[in-house]
Structure 1
Amino acid sequence: MYSFHVKWKSPSNIALVKYWGKNGYQLPANASLSMTLSEAVSTTEVFFTPLSDGKGPGIQFSFEGKPNEMFRQRVEKYLQYLADNEMPFLHNYHLDIQSHNSFPHSSGIASSAAFMSSLALCLCSVEEQLQEGIGYAFFERASYIARLGSGSAARSVYGGYVSWGRNMYVPHSSDEYATPVNKRVHPTFLNYADAIVIVSDQPKAISSSAGHQLMDKHPFHLSRYRQANIHHEELLRALLCEDRERFAEIVENEALQLHSLLMTSKPSYILMEPATLHVIQKIRQFRKETSIPVCFTLDAGPNVHILYAKNEKEIVEDYIRNHIASTLPHPVKVLYDFLGNGPEQVFFKTID
């Protein structure tokens, strides 16, 4: 058997219509829509070494050059599931996985989406080499495999704007993999930027997995799923028609709905900080004073993503520096990113 050495860079994404609630094994309860970032990436390198006993997958894992036992256990469980159900060739290999992020931990950027998508791309590259000509679309397969590790990772294997979840408005849509929708997006939205105001660098009080489970018995879960699907349709229309005001309205409503669901779950969680509300109020003040349709979104944490067109970069980023970051009661870091083109294979080597 051959050995392989594979390396992929894959970006994170920020959900505009939120995926919050599962239906079955890593399947979404509603359709979601995201914006893939450019600079916030995970770079994952995997050495595949053959095993003679067929009792793999063996695994060695390091993050930022150091062993990470908690995440190693998660990756091991994921790989074992793939070996038993999707990728039987993994039984014949030991994997040495080394991963690095370009962004700080607990920064409001989905690290699991970036890492799991980069790992899935490495796995699919080897699968494609071993099973040449099996007849699937590579990135569709990678999205499917990434989803099994982290739902939002399904969207990170594509650049631009990405839909995930079966719906009647995106051709070839599925709950099992994501689909890019850039051909139906106005050029204005293809030049969007994202400034992430890190008001807290502390770990989240609740993991995404635990948050999804809260939706199972949430009193508003059915109405939430209906509303998310409506927002998915309406946001697609706004992206096509260059309706920036409606885009902002939907994106902000989705962020606030996510946090209202967390606040009304059992147990309940309040993940926004006073500084989060301060940033939100400042964004709304700026929008009112300038009529520039800048907007915000949040993940399941306190940090704020500010979305704006690149041609407004100078005025918006000046406002962020001088009227948002400088007015908070403690120093904050702001990460500047923009809509990205998706993953990149760094190299693939077959070793005799």
Structure 2
Amino acid sequence: MNTKTTLDYKNPFTSSAVIIIGIILLALSVVVSINFGASSTLSYQDVWSAIFHFDPTNSSHVIIRELRLPRAIAAISVGAALAVSGAIMQGMTRNPLASPSIMGVTSGSSFLIAIALAALPGISYLGLMMFSFVGAGLGAALVFGISAMAKGGVTPVKLALVGSAITSLLSSLSTAIGIKFNVSKDISYWYAGGVSSIQPQHILFAIPFIIVGLILALILSRSISVLSLGEDVAKGLGQRTGYVQLLGTIAVLLLTGAAVSIAGMIGFVGLVIPHITRFLVGVDYRWIIPCSAILGGILLITADIVGRSVNPPFETPVSAITALIGVPFFLYLARKEGRGL
């Protein structure tokens, strides 16, 4: 089989245009995000000066550098991480419904964070990140394990149903832990989902894990393209599918674990963005991975801006904005896939 012919449905010029336009939109979104907030005294000149000519005695510069710039960076990083995680999961499982939020990955992270807050008061942020990574693996293992044991084996809709059930279970257990050990206020931050309380040190801890996960995803991109044709086809082409799946799973855990540790549970980014990206650039993951990262960043930073605009000076959680987009999209995909059951 000629894999190049099978995979390259779109003109590379189109994919390059998506990346270039996406980067421009991302840069503009960052500027708007930094400028927009409770204070009305900031101008675009303030943003430029704070970034390139920082004056620690200028209150506007401090607000931009300590609050708004970290928030914008966090939104982009989390959006990119969740979008690429969803793309990897959909490519490896050939399941159009796969995403970190639906497959129990994000709820698993939040569940172990709840346990850590209850059992280890005063735990460091790095410690919470470690629990987040382990929880991501736990949630994914539960969903895929239970689906595999069910009659008829693993199917896209079955994974979605089991994932929804596991997500509800782990969320309920986390709530119970919060009430029992009086840490509900701490846990609520991760379940609300957002980047409003981001601190610069959070970014410094999490960004390296996200960067490693993105690099690993890019390295695996061609292998995931082949694997998306089917495991039998991939093996016939000489690919070590188990090795690719293991590294792909590690990338998903790194990206999702770091994203949840920064922003909590934000759903549907990893579901919607890979589908939009495939529509724009085709099915070659060498293009899907970088384009998903860019579009995911644009979606989440835009959702953060919208969340601040709906009812100022109060903020609507980012997770609520993404859910407004993602739930109808999920129902459409579930209905479409359900016809094949």
TM-score normalized by structure 2?
0.25
Q: Which has the higher helix share?
A: 2
TM-score normalized by structure 1?
0.25
Q: Which has the higher strand share?
A: 1
